Structure 1
Amino acid sequence: MSSEDAAAEPAPRRWRIDVSPLRTSSDFRALFTAGVVSYLGSMFTFVAIPLQAQQLTGSFVVVGLLGLAEVIPILVFGLWGGALADHVDRRRMILVTEVCLGIGSLILLANALLPDPHVWVLFVVGALFAACDSLQRPSVDALVPQSVPHHQLGGAAALMSLRWSVGFILGTSLGGLVASYLGVAVAYGIDAVSYVLSFLIFLSLKSRGRMKDEGTPGIGAIAEGVRYAWGRKDLLGTYAVDTLAMVLAFPWAVFPFVAEKFDAPWALGLLYAASSVGAAAASLTSGWTSHIHRHGKAIVIAASLYGLAIAAFGLAPTLWLALVFLALAGAADMVSGVFRSLVWNQSIPDDLRGRLAGIEFLSYAIGPQLGSARVSLMAQWRGLGFSIASGGILCAAGVLALAAALPTMWRYDVRTSVDVAAVRAARELRAPDDDD
């Protein structure tokens, strides 16, 4: 869209989410639809695992350690998954890992049906989920820029964010009710069914072959991606901001205890869903993001607001006010996420996209696991409210410090980036198939 077209665009349309990627690309429709189904089901398990751990042990520490159990698989398989995404058929990688994730849900179901469920199974399957997701997610992320034209990447990023938000809202809301009142076994069973459905949808993806025919997806391939990322401090900044925010201001692991604090076990699902309600609202009005060019500033401001909203959540005196602050945090996180995705998808060459997606996965996957451990252990030490609120304040301060330390991220502008110009030119030479 030219600047003249943008200026002439009706105001209501500027605020609406761009759905053109869904209309024009069957591959993107498959990625979006299967992702909604799969993520919806996985949120049932996301709620059920810490709830079952609380029911079996009643310990902040055990709930926090569940997150730590996933860190090593993410570290090992996240970078390797990114290398594989550049060297193997990305469609095949997605299908194989989807099957493995479904098997993990069946193991949880079988354990939950035992007369005395084993806590260690939660740790083992959590690690399995982390490994499979680490292998799958880079391939999914790397397929997005291959599935839509370059000018539709903004709409694609907003739609993918909406996919997570819708799945999180419905999945955690329903998952909280199902796990609390029907039992965690029912929640695990629903998750297993969702993987069957998403697998069938993923089957419709077209194979795009391998991005690199030479070499093997080993240490050398991973190192090439790391060197590229290290050479671009604007990219490093986007990863660091996300990691910092999640490590310091990710209170999801203690939501069962927050519900208990407000004497509202029925609100567990609402706590999990509140941030995604805000994220979905921001996604549905994301048309304005296409008119923002200084993506670095947008990331920093949104991530700082996220931290402040989490701090306010930790200090909220009532349940309903706490839910409002969580929704505001979700909206800020969604805005930050959209602009991070735009930086990644618009400026990283396709033959490196998988490996950089692996690094991206580490930035947004390790953070929540470490954040879950931090908030749980600090809650055990200093109390629930202090743990949440102090983390949010430190998040906002840390993001601003990163912006000062990495000025190329703060100054990043899509209109003047030489990396964006090079990637756009390369993609225009091999535009993706338009299906409809």
Structure 2
Amino acid sequence: MRPSARPVLPAPRPDGGGLAYHRRVSAPGLLANRDFRRLWIAQAISLFGDWFTYVAVGTLALSESTGLYGVAAVLVAHTLPRAVLAPFAGRLADRRDRGAILVVGSLLRALVVLVMIALVGDAGSGTAVLAGLVFLRMALSAFTDPAASAALPQLVPTHQLGSANALLGATWSTIFALGVAAGGFVTAFVGPRGALAIDAATFVLAAALFATLPRLRPGERSDASASASMVVTPDFLAAWRRTWRDPALLHVALAKIPVALANGGGWVLLHAVAGQQSAVAVTLGVMHGVRGIGTGVGPLLWARVGRLRGTISGIHLGTAVTLAGVALFSAFDLPALLVVASVLWGLGMGATWVTSTTRLQLLTPNALLGRLAAIDLMAHTCAQCLGGLLGAVVADALLAPAGAGWFGAAGGLLAWGLLVLLVRARARRSSQP
């Protein structure tokens, strides 16, 4: 059953700060909610399979002669489809049952992975085909991600959104750390086919769990909200115009851009560092796993501090920690410092992701949330692609892999400053009579 409590969410403070109603809830309390528990478990299972292929495809890219451009191309294949299809996905999530989207999307992704197993072997000649199928699989993810984000406020009351997102973020990071580490060993000793088979099975199991959720029709929320007074717009462009007119909403919709730029450049550098080792797949899995630990710790730390939980201050601090972590990773090559840098990098990213997502869900009416989640998705995926591609170009021009990381950190810092100036300018304009 859905929670019966229906607290009212007060409006944001005039200064654009934290939302007044923002209570921390324990994980056991959240997991007592049967519907949220099923959503949580289904997403965890699906993610676990995903990270096996993440390492496998990254290893194949490093084995080719394309250098860091091949690594950047893999990053684009993992992210660009979601950006391209985000407007359509967000609109669909605001028109159709979100649970049905999650079920169908998961089954279609399982089918794509089965095609991967049938067509792609261990030889490098199959890399192009694999990249195309990864592109298609991630295109399907563009539909499931906004649906899952928009469904969350329908399954938990408003005062639990911050804690629910923190738990989901910590789970994502834990599964990421375990999945990439295990995927590294599986890829090294069994090969990509074994990892792909696990991935397909997890999608099927996740679809079965998603099918047990109640109907999640757009416009329904688990409790009342002050955002219900907002005007709901009929299409994606109108949703963007609505966001552009609201400085607070504009900030959270674009808040992930700085960390995504930094992450793109750092991602290319991380693969370059792993490529210099003899056991590439194992090293890649371990390095991603260490970063994943940080992404799990960040949301939990931010959730414990009221001034950071779902607030603008929390977003800014998470962004600063991310940029510092990527810069530190670029500056040193000592193993101990790389570990510290990876944890900081992940800690800031995880905190920024959860904090901005929570604030977006609190500020947005549910009937519009699919399209706002799509705007968020499109913004940060494009930024991550740009950071990876241009980072590879800079690293190649400088003949130094660290150039990719430095580009990501510098680009993220510039984007952060421009975003702050943009929001302030929009706030001044909206306050004028």
State the TM-score, normalizing by the size of structure 1.
0.82
Counterpart for residue 405 of structure 2: 388
Shift of 1:58: 5.1
Change (3 A) 1:334 1:72: closer
1:269 maps to 2:285: yes
Secondary structure of 1:87's aligned partner:
coil
Alignment of 1:288-367 (within 5 A): 288-292=304-308, 295-367=311-383
CA distance in 2 between counterparts of 1:79 and 1:15 reads: 32
1:203 maps to 2:211: yes
Shift of 1:394: 3.5
Q: Deviations over 1:412-436 (max 9, x none)?
A: xxxxxxxxxxxxxxxxxxxxxxxxx
Shift of 1:21: 5.4
Give the letter aligned to residue 413 of structure 2: A
The question of whether the paired residues in 2 share the 8 Å contact of 1:304 and 1:395 is answered with no
Q: Deviations over 1:47-79 (max 9, x none)?
A: 111211222445221221233346653333211
Shift of 1:130: 2.3
Unaligned runs of 5+ residues in structure 1 are 3-13, 213-218, 412-436
The question of whether the paired residues in 1 share the 8 Å contact of 2:302 and 2:309 is answered with no
1:141 maps to 2:155: no
The question of whether the paired residues in 2 share the 8 Å contact of 1:235 and 1:344 is answered with yes
The question of whether the paired residues in 1 share the 8 Å contact of 2:310 and 2:358 is answered with no
Change (3 A) 1:100 1:336: same
1:229 maps to 2:280: no
Structure number having the greater helix percentage:
1
Shift of 1:388: 0.8
Q: Deviations over 1:208-228 (max 9, x none)?
A: 33449xxxxxx9511221122
1:105 maps to 2:121: no
CA distance in 2 between counterparts of 1:52 and 1:111 reads: 15
Counterpart for residue 259 of structure 1: 274
Counterpart for residue 229 of structure 2: none
393-402 or 337-346, which moves further after superposition?
393-402
Q: Which of 403, 406, 415 is residue 420 of structure 2 equivalent to?
A: 403
Change (3 A) 1:293 1:286: closer
Shift of 1:410: 10
Give the letter aligned to residue 326 of structure 2: I
CA distance in 2 between counterparts of 1:253 and 1:59 reads: 10
CA distance in 2 between counterparts of 1:272 and 1:15 reads: 32
The question of whether the paired residues in 2 share the 8 Å contact of 1:178 and 1:186 is answered with yes
CA distance in 1 between counterparts of 2:123 and 2:83 reads: 35
The question of whether the paired residues in 2 share the 8 Å contact of 1:312 and 1:389 is answered with no
Change (3 A) 1:379 1:355: same
337-346 or 87-96, which moves further after superposition?
337-346
Give the letter aligned to residue 111 of structure 2: I
41-50 or 52-61, which moves further after superposition?
52-61
1:59 maps to 2:71: no
Change (3 A) 1:150 1:264: same
Give the letter aligned to residue 255 of structure 1: L
CA distance in 2 between counterparts of 1:120 and 1:77 reads: 22
Q: Deviations over 1:353-406 (max 9, x none)?
A: 111111122123333333322222322222101221232133234313422332
Shift of 1:28: 1.0
Change (3 A) 1:55 1:208: same
Q: Which of 118, 126, 144 is residue 118 of structure 1 equivalent to?
A: 126
Give the letter aligned to residue 407 of structure 1: R
CA distance in 2 between counterparts of 1:376 and 1:61 reads: 6
Counterpart for residue 177 of structure 2: 169
Shift of 1:340: 0.4
The question of whether the paired residues in 1 share the 8 Å contact of 2:318 and 2:348 is answered with yes
CA distance in 2 between counterparts of 1:273 and 1:397 reads: 28
Change (3 A) 1:92 1:301: same
The question of whether the paired residues in 1 share the 8 Å contact of 2:184 and 2:284 is answered with yes
CA distance in 1 between counterparts of 2:210 and 2:404 reads: 41
Counterpart for residue 151 of structure 1: 159
CA distance in 1 between counterparts of 2:194 and 2:156 reads: 38
Unaligned runs of 5+ residues in structure 2 are 1-6, 9-21, 221-232, 429-433
The question of whether the paired residues in 1 share the 8 Å contact of 2:87 and 2:374 is answered with yes
Counterpart for residue 428 of structure 1: none
CA distance in 2 between counterparts of 1:271 and 1:410 reads: 41
158-167 or 287-296, which moves further after superposition?
287-296
Percent identity at matched positions?
A: 24
Change (3 A) 1:38 1:112: same
Number of residue pairs matched by the alignment: 394
CA distance in 2 between counterparts of 1:289 and 1:197 reads: 36
CA distance in 2 between counterparts of 1:124 and 1:105 reads: 11
Shift of 1:324: 1.4
Q: Deviations over 1:19-39 (max 9, x none)?
A: 155334222111111111101
CA distance in 2 between counterparts of 1:19 and 1:336 reads: 20
The question of whether the paired residues in 2 share the 8 Å contact of 1:247 and 1:374 is answered with no
219-228 or 175-184, which moves further after superposition?
219-228
Q: Deviations over 1:90-148 (max 9, x none)?
A: 11111111011112222222233366642221231122122101111111000101100
RMSD: 2.8
The question of whether the paired residues in 1 share the 8 Å contact of 2:299 and 2:355 is answered with no
Q: Which of 252, 256, 275 is residue 242 of structure 1 equivalent to?
A: 256
State the TM-score, normalizing by the size of structure 2.
0.83
CA distance in 2 between counterparts of 1:284 and 1:147 reads: 21
1:377 maps to 2:385: no
